[in-house]
Amino acid sequence: YMELGGNDAAILLADANLDDDAVKRLRFGVLRAAGQVCSAIKRIYVHESRYEEVVGKLTKEFSRIRVGNGIQPDVEMGPLNNKSQYDYVNSLIKRAADAGAHVITGGIQIDPESWEQGYFIAPTIITGVEQTSEIVRAEQFGPVIPILPFSDVDEVVRLANDSEFGLRASVWTEDEALAVKLADRLEAGAVFHNNHTVFQDLHLDFPGLKESGLSRETRHCGLEYFADSYGLAN
| 3, part of any domain | no
Q: How many residues does the chain have?
A: 234
Mean pLDDT of 28-32: 96
CA dihedral of 35, 38, 39, 42, whole degrees rounded to 10: 50
Q: Is 38 a catalytic residue?
A: yes
Reported as a pLDDT band with limits 50, 70 and 90, residue 230 is very low
Instruction: With respect to residue 99, please indicate whether it lies within any of the assigned structural domains.
Output: yes
pLDDT digits (tens, 9 = 90+) for 50-101: 999 999 999 999 999 999 998 888 999 999 999 999 999 999 999 999 999 9
What total number of domains does the chain contain? 1
Query: What average pLDDT does range 32-47 have in this prediction?
Result: 96
Interacting residues of 5 by C-beta distance below 8 A, sequence separation 6+? 38, 139, 141, 165, 167, 211, 212
CATH assignment of the domain containing 153 = 3.40.309.10
Does residue 85 lie within any of the structural domains? Answer: yes
Predicted local confidence at residue 197, as pLDDT: 84
SS3 track for the chain: CECCCCCEEEEECCCCCCCHHHHHHHHHHHHHHHHCCCCCEEEEEEECCCHHHHHHHHHHHHHCCEECCCCCCCCCECCCCCHHHHHHHHHHHHHHHHCCCEEEECCEECCHHHHHHCCCCCCEEEECCCCCCHHHHCCCCCCEEEEEEECCHHHHHHHHHCCCEECEEEEECCCHHHHHHHHHHCCCCEEEECCCCCCCCCCCCCCCEECCCECCCCHHHHHHHCCCHHHHCC
List the catalytic residue out of 38, 61, 76, 139: 38
Which structural domain, as residue segments, surrounds residue 61?
A: 8-232
Q: Is the pLDDT score of 231 beyond 50?
A: no
pTM comes to 0.89
Average pLDDT, the chain: 89
Q: Quick check: is 25 in a domain? A: yes
The average pLDDT across 185-207 equals 78
Summarize pLDDT for 95-120 with one digit per residue, the tens. Answer: 999 999 999 999 999 988 888 889 99
* Catalytic status, residue 48: no
Q: Is residue 137 part of a domain?
A: yes
Share of the chain above pLDDT 90, in %: 74
pLDDT at 12 over 70: yes
Domain membership flag for residue 189: yes
What average pLDDT score do residues 42-47 get? 98
In a domain, 55, yes or no: yes
The stretch 150-158 carries a mean pLDDT of 98
